Structure 1
């Protein structure tokens, strides 16, 4: 049996599922390798990170966490934006005392689709009583000029990580500071809702419990009921948050004395207090992969784990 209890593994992976649930918009990175069998979802796991390689299988054990969702929505003030695909991947160093340390991949943990804001710039700030804004609104019959994309960005380290909350419902799992970048020719390149100094603080939780499954496979990913690797599957949960506040937009419109900031905030109802905003992610799929009995390969668990991952690359 594994030295790290299944309950602890389950809590860790559920908690990290939430990271994928709320971070539903992001930026793309380089293509990841394709992996065989049970390793399949863990394409960006940082198995070669020093903290992962240093795990011994006794006091510290290495694991890969993957969480993704295909759809959902986020409501900021008066504006609701549908979300697309999100894929979160992280390494986790699971400590014998039940605590854990998250290790992000070199290019970042999140890959996700940017979202298109419904109604575009017309819906975001038009009509307006401000003459300058009205002149912009008259030019927005061109679909390319009207389109706005929104991208969520992390602006600090996660905090308040609660493993036990990951297996419960309606309990905050983690706090994540984020900002949302709005992109459109009229908005310039520095238009954000939230900032590094005053971010949106998301505290996701499970709205519904996931279905639990467990499978084992060999080091190269081939299914094997007595294999050295195991994967916990947590499937189908709805996750989100409805407790966060949203600050106003800033930096929009090429520094035009805050006119566009004000127009965006007025039309969208920003800043918006806690309880007036929400995030929902549908049908989240989470996988945690680790050594089934890490103590057997002590003190080289991290190295064995890395070698196994590389052996599964197609």
Structure 2
């Protein structure tokens, strides 16, 4: 492993593609085994990518959820410039483990005194037994990338986005049911993550990401074959809006009220407590981790 200038590293690991030998279908091996879920046999895919977020936080409205479990983004890209992220094969493209919402059910629901008696009773009964609320990030549109912006943040005023993620946040607790979401496919939370400095609307103030340190990991140095490893990258965005929650309220509780009424009461309580909808300038995403990028030809050649 050797540290190299970013231009040299990117060129050596990504832009100088060796001729790939015809290989039988197999599994990538050695240092390329990590890219086994990349769609590297797709002729449109020039490189394989794995980005792992190990720490950070997501603030939506008045609630901040720490990132304390790895979030893995993986798949294939056409180029390190602007490119859609081609879905992983055999694994989630975005693997986001459920995160516990601070305060649990009590932290995201503010029951009103005029709630129907059965709903009030059900709420406090579940708080006493299952207060935990898990939040999972789910993509609802194809992810767009520009890893060149991560390596070389633009200084000419052009779009600095490294990854554009349109997602919804799934809130899960027996009281909330299985269809309680913040955002939707039609009205998602759109994150435009960058390693540069943001320019958010007030009351948020600018925050800065970090391109991290790029290293070329040589797997066959005489032939200059390797992959790019980027460590200590911090991606940020605090200019996005967050829509209201909807679909909350477990219709299996057997409550003697109509489902639309239940949804309105519980979703309304979630929105009141969390502070949703939240306009741009009141939300923040900070994601720190590392990334690995390899030419798909090298991944294919490593099959065994």
With normalisation by structure 1, the TM-score equals 0.72
Q: Does 1:156 align with 2:166?
A: no
**Residues 94-109 of structure 1 mapped to structure 2, 5 A cutoff:** 94=79, 100-106=83-89, 107-109=91-93
CA contact (8 A) 1:234 1:286 kept: yes
Distance 2:140 2:110 in 1: 29
Instruction: Report what 2:248 is aligned to.
Output: 252
In 2, are the aligned partners of 1:229 and 1:289 still within 8 Å (CA)?
A: no
Q: Is the 8 A contact 1:169 1:209 kept in 2?
A: no
Q: Which residue in the other structure is 1:76 paired with?
A: 60
Deviation at 1:257, TM superposition (A): 4.4
Unaligned runs of 5+ in 2: 1-5, 14-25, 196-208, 252-258
SS at match of 1:70: strand
Please report how far the alpha carbon of residue 112 of structure 1 lies from its aligned counterpart in structure 2 after TM superposition: 2.8
Matched, 1:213 2:215: yes
Query: Aligned partners of 2:27, 2:55: CA distance in 1, in Å?
Result: 23
Counterparts in 2 of 1:34 and 1:185: CA distance versus 1, 3 Å: farther
Q: CA RMSD in A?
A: 2.9
Per-residue deviation at 1:99? 5.3
Measure how far apart 1:309 and its partner are: 3.4
What does residue range 189-268 of structure 1 map to in structure 2 within 5 Å? Answer: 189-206=178-195, 207-217=209-219, 224-227=220-223, 229-253=225-249, 254=251, 255=259, 256-268=262-274
Q: Is the 8 A contact 2:84 2:142 kept in 1?
A: no
Give how far 1:176 is off: 2.0
1:128-139 correspondence to structure 2 within 5 Å? 128-132=112-116, 134-139=120-125
Q: Which residue of 2 aligns with 1:297?
A: none
Match of 2:177, SS state, is: coil
> Which structure 1 segments of 5+ residues have no match?
1-5, 14-32, 53-61, 218-223, 291-301
- State the distance in 1 between where 2:241 and 2:82 align: 29
Classify the secondary structure of the residue corresponding to 1:121.
Answer: helix
Following the alignment from structure 2 to structure 1, what is the Cα–Cα distance between the partners of residues 58 and 192?
Answer: 13
Deviations 1:232-288 (A, max 9, x none): 111112222111100010011033141000000001100001010111112x11111
SS at match of 2:266: helix
- Partners of 2:54 and 2:82 in 1: how far apart? 30
Alignment of 1:1-314 (within 5 A): 7=7, 10=10, 36-52=29-45, 62-83=46-67, 84-94=69-79, 100-106=83-89, 107-132=91-116, 134-143=120-129, 145-159=130-144, 161-162=145-146, 164-166=148-150, 167-168=152-153, 171-206=160-195, 207-217=209-219, 224-227=220-223, 229-253=225-249, 254=251, 255=259, 256-282=262-288, 284-290=289-295, 305=298, 307-311=300-304
Structure 1 residues 39, 268: closer, same or farther in 2, change over 3 A? Answer: same
Contact 2:111–2:269 (Cα < 8 Å) also in 1: no
How has the CA–CA distance of structure 1 residues 74 and 101 changed in structure 2, closer, same or farther, with 3 Å as cutoff? closer
Pair 153,35 (structure 1): closer, same or farther in 2 beyond 3 Å: same
- Counterpart of 1:298? none
- The Cα of 1:123 is off from its aligned counterpart by 1.1
Indicate how the Cα distance of structure 1 residues 123 and 69 shifts in structure 2: closer, same or farther if over 3 A, else same.
same
CA positional deviation for 1:122: 1.1
Q: State the Cα distance separating 1:50 from its structure 2 match.
A: 4.8
Structure 1 match to 2:254: none
**1:29 equivalent in structure 2:** none
Equivalent pairs counted in the alignment come to 255
Does the Cα contact within 8 Å between 1:241 and 1:280 map onto a contact in 2? yes
Q: Aligned equivalents of 1:225 and 1:245: distance in 2?
A: 47
User: In 2, distance between residues paired with 1:169 and 1:210?
Assistant: 15
TM-superposition CA deviations, 1:17-37 (whole Å, max 9, x none): xxxxxxxxxxxxxxxx98644
